[in-house]
């Protein structure tokens, strides 16, 4: 593939802008400055250096972000910045979007991709992918509340009880809740129905993926290779 065309596919701008990047000496491959935008390159396994930053060439992007509080999972946010503003411009240009949503005040593991089929696989209710939440509550967690969450609580928009796949106390005012459904404000509403109130909410795991302990709020990283394969539902 021609270098400028590859840069365009990776989100670095229009074809003309990508040609200008190369001609200006802003693109390097394996330490070599490229000066021909029409140079043929093999995309597989290629790492570009664009304006001094390494960029692995991927056909479809899969990103793991540690979402901080105060960001909306929307391309058109209404009251807070979009989580997309935490990503570099090429990822936004190529159409990366969140896999599901976390409320603006919820923190933790968020996946983003430009692969529509992958989004469907991750969010399909038929797959029952587990999502683990660390819940800080207003009042101490007791055995009765845990029993209600395990047995099922009734929400105001559905007469059928909604159950936690797993639920345990992790501190006086901290419970760890595993869900396999995705209803609106589900954790907050379930905890309220059990007789408590959510003060803070953090997602620590999604499917087989866990939020890395060394990934600070607002930071992101590529998912690739064995880690991505292990995390993606079949």
Contacts of 172 (CB under 8 A, 6+ apart): 140, 141
Nearest to 103 by CA among 66, 63, 73, 76: 73
**Could you tell me if residue 152 is left (phi over 0), alpha (psi between -120 and 50 degrees) or otherwise beta?**
left
- Active-site residue identified among 35, 103, 142, 158: 103
Q: How far apart are CA 108 and CA 134, in angstroms?
A: 9
Catalytic annotation present for 103: yes
Look up tokens 């930071």; give the residue. Answer: 219
Do 22 and 36 touch, CB atoms closer than 8 A?
yes
Q: How far apart are CA 88 and CA 220, in angstroms?
A: 10
Tokens of 200: 């803070």
Nearest to 85 by CA among 206, 227, 218: 218
Tokens of 164: 């936690």
**Could you tell me if residue 17 is left (phi over 0), alpha (psi between -120 and 50 degrees) or otherwise beta?**
alpha
Q: How far apart are CA 11 and CA 15, in angstroms?
A: 10
**Among all residues, which ones are annotated catalytic?**
103
């Amino acid at each position: 593939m021609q270098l400028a065309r590859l840069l365009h596919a990776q989100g670095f701008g229009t074809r003309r802008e990508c040609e200008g990047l190369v001609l200006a000496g802003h693109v390097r491959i394996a330490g070599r400055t490229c000066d021909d935008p029409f140079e043929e390159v093999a995309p597989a396994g290629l790492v570009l250096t664009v304006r001094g930053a390494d960029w692995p060439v991927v056909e479809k992007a899969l990103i793991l972000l540690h979402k901080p509080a105060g960001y909306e999972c929307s391309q058109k946010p209404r009251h807070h910045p979009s989580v997309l503003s935490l990503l570099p411009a090429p990822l936004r240009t190529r159409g990366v979007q969140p896999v599901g949503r976390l409320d603006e005040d919820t923190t933790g593991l968020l996946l983003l991709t430009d692969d529509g089929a992958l989004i469907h696989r991750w969010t399909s209710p038929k797959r029952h992918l587990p999502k683990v939440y660390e819940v800080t509550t207003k009042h101490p967690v007791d055995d009765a509340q845990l029993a209600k969450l395990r047995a099922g609580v009734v929400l105001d928009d559905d007469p059928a009880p909604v159950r936690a796949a797993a639920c345990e106390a992790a501190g006086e005012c901290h419970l760890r809740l595993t869900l396999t459904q995705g209803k609106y404000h589900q954790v907050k509403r379930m905890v309220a129905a059990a007789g408590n109130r959510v003060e803070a909410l953090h997602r620590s795991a999604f499917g087989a993926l866990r939020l890395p302990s060394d990934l600070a709020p607002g930071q992101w990283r590529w998912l690739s290779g064995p880690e991505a394969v292990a995390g993606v539902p079949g």
